[in-house]
């Protein structure tokens, strides 16, 4: 089955309401404990389906693979902590589920375009007035858009830097 990129990014609801209920249970577990390890095998067990079926059905239902959804939630939580607390960045990294500061920093930069320290400095310097908008809507609006895998984004960035001729080649 072929389709346009828009077709593959748009969530498709599973026909089985029972399956959707199980998928929502797994998604709720990720939301409640995004700092924990959530391999597909563990999420599939929560949903009582096979790992392959779970991965396909989750992507179809929510528009993102389970791991990318987990990364989105972790980055979302980290940005809130960076903005609203003075915790050291390493504590935020480990507290949001990252196993190393380097992986956290690299992934954070890939998603937001800034290092955690730069992001914190910029966000804390901005004046903030209380918003009349409910917090859940603000969280959704600030959620990072991971429409492509971080590794794919890195490959594209590396390829684009290789294609740019330098001054010596142009002369």
pTM of the model: 0.67
Statement to judge: residues 56 and 75 lie in one domain: no
What CATH number is given to the structural domain containing 83?
Answer: 1.10.10.60
* Cβ-defined contacts of 135-139 (< 8 Å, 24+): 139/76, 139/80
Statement to judge: residues 24 and 39 lie in one domain: yes
Q: Is residue 7 part of a domain?
A: no
Q: Is residue 52 part of a domain?
A: yes
Statement to judge: residues 81 and 17 lie in one domain: no
| Predicted confidence (pLDDT) at residue 133 exceeds the cutoff of 90 | no
Residue 42's CB is within 10 A of a number of other CB atoms, namely 15
Q: Is residue 171 part of a domain?
A: no
Statement to judge: residues 75 and 158 lie in one domain: yes
Statement to judge: residues 57 and 132 lie in one domain: no
Structural domain including 18 reads 13-63
Q: For 110-137, what is the mean pLDDT?
A: 84
Which distant-in-sequence residues (6+ apart) come within 8 Å of 128 by Cβ?
Answer: none
Statement to judge: residues 75 and 131 lie in one domain: yes
Model confidence pLDDT, tens digit, residues 21-36: 999 999 999 999 989 8
For residues 57 and 123, give the distance between their C-alpha atoms in angstroms, rounded to a whole number. Answer: 36
Statement to judge: residues 97 and 118 lie in one domain: yes
**pLDDT given at position 12:** 64
């Amino acid at each position: 089955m072929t389709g346009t990129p828009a077709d593959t990014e748009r969530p498709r609801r599973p026909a089985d309401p029972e399956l959707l209920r199980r998928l929502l249970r797994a998604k709720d577990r990720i939301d409640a404990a995004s700092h924990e390890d959530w391999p597909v095998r563990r999420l599939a067990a929560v949903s009582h389906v096979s790992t392959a079926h779970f991965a396909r059905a989750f992507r179809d239902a929510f528009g993102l693979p389970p791991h990318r959804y987990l990364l989105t939630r972790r980055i979302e939580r980290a940005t809130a902590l960076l903005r609203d607390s003075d915790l050291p960045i390493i504590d935020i990294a480990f507290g949001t589920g990252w196993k190393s500061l380097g992986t956290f920093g690299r992934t954070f930069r890939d998603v937001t375009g800034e290092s955690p320290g730069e992001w914190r400095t910029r966000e804390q310097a901005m004046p903030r007035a209380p918003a009349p908008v409910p917090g859940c809507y603000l969280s959704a609006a600030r959620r990072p858009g991971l429409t492509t895998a971080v590794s794919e984004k890195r490959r594209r960035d590396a390829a684009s830097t290789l294609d740019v001729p330098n001054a010596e080649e142009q002369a």
